Amino acid sequence: MAMRKFLTIAALSLTILVPGTSAQQSTSPTPVLSALDYLEIEQLVYRYGYALDTGADNGFAYADLYAPDATFTGTNQGPSGRSYQGRDRLAALARGGKRGPNFVSHYVMNVVVEPAPGGAVGRTYVGILDIGNGGNGAKSRVDHGGLYNDVYVKTAQGWRFKSRSYFESTSGAPVQPPPATLSVPRALGVAPASTGAAPGSGPRLTAEDYIEIQQLVARYPYALDQNSDEGRSYANLFTPDAVFRQPRTEGRQNLATMASRAPHGPKYTRHFLANHVIEATADGAIGRQYLVAVDIGEMGQPSSIFLGGHYEDVYAKTAEGWRFKTRTFIASATGTGAK
Amino acid sequence: MNYARVVSIGGVICLALIWSVHTSSGQAAQVAGFTPADYIEIRQLVARYAYAVDTGADNGNVYASLFAPDGAFADRMGRETKGHDALAALARRNTRGPQSAFHFIVNHVIEPTSGGAVGKEYLLQLRIGEGERPNDIFGGGHYEDVYVKTPDGWRFKRRQFIPSEGGPAPRGEAPAR
């Protein structure tokens, strides 16, 4: 029994490719990542939540985020953790349970990426929320969460997970082997940006495009929660003919009015966005993010999740920069329910 | 009004003035020499913050190393902690464990300035895996940052946490947009 447990732990130690440990050291050189490499790895990490929560393509959308020989390890599964390798086994992880095209649960944040021999390593936080079906905040709660330790590899199809290990957050002693420790940061030496994006012959975005769209979306919560100009800064995030749903609101004047009527204040924070996926299209770009709207308790009062779901966006590049052309909020729901 | 509150309000006003100069167009300002690599490095700096404070890595020294030598963290009252040793001690006091995740940071806006950059993010504090306590939301708010580029990369020149306070309308009545 003791030998079996030892072998299990030893095997797990080899499969958890903790950044910075000997397990992932190789003779491969450490690449200098470009800005697009960082952005594309972020995109991979953000796609993870959608693939797992929706179970799209019978779980294979999730499996295809991994390289062919890649491994997912849940260190919280059983006393010694459990690993899954191979496309079919990984796809099976994204089936069953609470899923559906509009279901949201895995909110990924704090994505740290570092070049490493053969590719890159990373770590992220994940908050796994139980959003009440239909987005009714009354039943929503923090289910659990923790950290991922990742190893990424650049394949012919783009960046993929070589390994991903989940560590449940705990204030106590860590599992063995523990998650990677963070080192002192250094200047990244980011390689010059190229004009290409993901492999393929379709439309492409530059690093500047990704960053501008990220910044557009990052500004959204401030313009809504902390606006001090009758909603004008909110409306200016949209094209003049833009449409927000729901309720359907069209044009900057109506958008400004909608924002001015929403709860707001200079220190108010309510709209937390995560998992921002961006894709190039022939006309511009489209994107998605998870939203959790939180009513933060004040003066010792408890906080609560008001609702959760996701946005679906169409972006247009204008003379003023990237803007929302359409933005649609879809509340979280399990099953195959319509939007 | 006590001194700490005056300092806190003063800090918020100063940062608000910086923002008003740099965000009027609603689009990232174009400052010569500010590249995608600068955005990436600043995003990475901010992402590292959570790990550094939650795990207290290297006895708090990783947290302290995220700040410039004269960098400062200002708490909700505007009280500043400045200098490597004091910042490391702050991280040691606030660490929750080597496998803990508490600071979830999103909505990172970055604005280049003539002297570096400023930024802001929302913070959601999730209390997970703390004994028998049910997992919950501890609190939240936003950070207001000033970044400076040093020979070692981008660092915090100043970071202040500002807890969320409700807007003028009753909370929970209006739908999220």
pLDDT tens readout for residues B102-120: 999 999 999 999 999 999 9
Give the phi and the psi of residue B123 in degrees, each rounded to 5.
-120, 130
Question: At A136, is the pLDDT very low, low, confident or very high (cuts 50, 70, 90)?
Answer: low
Whole-angstrom distance, CA of residue B32 vs CA of residue B55: 37
Q: By three-state DSSP, how is residue A233 classified? A: helix
Contacts of A303 by beta carbon, 8 Å cutoff, 6+ apart: A294, A295, A296, A297, B136, B137, B138, B139, B140
Task: Find which of A112, A167, A239 to mutate to test the B interface (most B CBs within 10 Å of its CB).
Answer: A112
State the pLDDT at residue B75. Answer: 95
pLDDT above 70 (res B9): no
Nearest CA in chain A to B137: A303
- CB contacts, 8 Å: B173 with chain A: 263
DSSP-assigned states of every residue in A278-308: EEE-SSSEEEEEEEEEEE---TTPPPEEEEE
Distance from CA of B98 to the nearest CA of A (A): 6
Average pLDDT over residues B34-51: 96
Query: Is any Cβ of chain B less than 8 angstroms from the Cβ of A184?
Result: yes
Of A112, A184, A225, which is closest to B44 when you measure between CB atoms?
A112
Return the minimum-mean-pLDDT range out of A10-14, A82-86, A197-201, B64-68: A10-14
- What's chain A's length in residues? 339
pLDDT single digits (tens) B43-74: 999 999 999 999 999 999 999 999 999 999 99
- Determine whether the interchain pair B37/A320 forms a contact, defined as Cβ–Cβ distance below 8 Å: no
- Would you state the structure tokens that stand for residue A201, as one six-digit string? 């012959």
- Determine whether the interchain pair B167/A272 forms a contact, defined as Cβ–Cβ distance below 8 Å: no
pLDDT single digits (tens) A254-304: 999 999 999 999 999 999 999 999 999 999 999 999 999 999 998 778 999
pLDDT-above-90 percentage for chain A: 72
Lookup result for tokens 């965000």: B23
- Determine whether the interchain pair A211/B28 forms a contact, defined as Cβ–Cβ distance below 8 Å: yes
State the pLDDT at residue B23. Answer: 45
Query: Is any Cβ of chain B less than 8 angstroms from the Cβ of A233?
Result: yes
Distance from CA of A298 to the nearest CA of B (A): 7
Q: Both ends of chain A: CA-CA distance in Å?
A: 52
Nearest CA in chain A to B95: A171
- Determine whether the interchain pair A261/B169 forms a contact, defined as Cβ–Cβ distance below 8 Å: yes
Considering the entire predicted model, what is its pTM? 0.89
Nearest CA in chain A to B62: A184
Contact assessment for residue B45 and residue B66, using Cβ atoms and an 8 Å cutoff: yes
